[in-house]
Structure 1
Amino acid sequence: MQELIQQVKDKAGINDEQAAKAIEAVKDFVKSKLPQMIAGNVDVWFAGMAGGAQPQKPDAAEDFLD
């Protein structure tokens, strides 16, 4: 995730906090455009970029019922 923040900072000429907020806005936008069953994967992708613990995916039945 730090690599992405750095790229956004360099290309947009903004600071760390602004870059992180911009990335969060993009993540939220992408999630809003995907079906709910798939949108949760966006959090997993971004968590993977951060190298941190990934959020647990709901099981398929639970996700389907939501």
Structure 2
Amino acid sequence: MARILNKEQLLGYGDIEVKELLLDLLLKGLEDVDPYKAIKKVISRGNKSIKVGGKTLHVHGKIYVLGLG
């Protein structure tokens, strides 16, 4: 989970309400691009199958997932 280490310093001056909103939007954006969550949304597994997108593949043995981006 993403977090902002110097939030108090950033909110210590200027328009605090706007800055809080922008920091919340930034954190939400960082959560949405988390590779682990992205893969979990697209890939699921069954007993002897794996579902990728909308396609089900029957597999035997180990499955390795590699993500690049």
Both proteins in one fold, TM over 0.5: no
- For Structure 1 versus Structure 2, the TM-score category normalised by the shorter chain is 0.3 to 0.5
Greater gyration radius: 2
Per the normalisation by structure 2, the TM-score is 0.34
Higher helix fraction (1 or 2): 1
* Bigger relative contact order, structure 1 or 2 (CA pairs below 8 A, ≥6 apart): 1
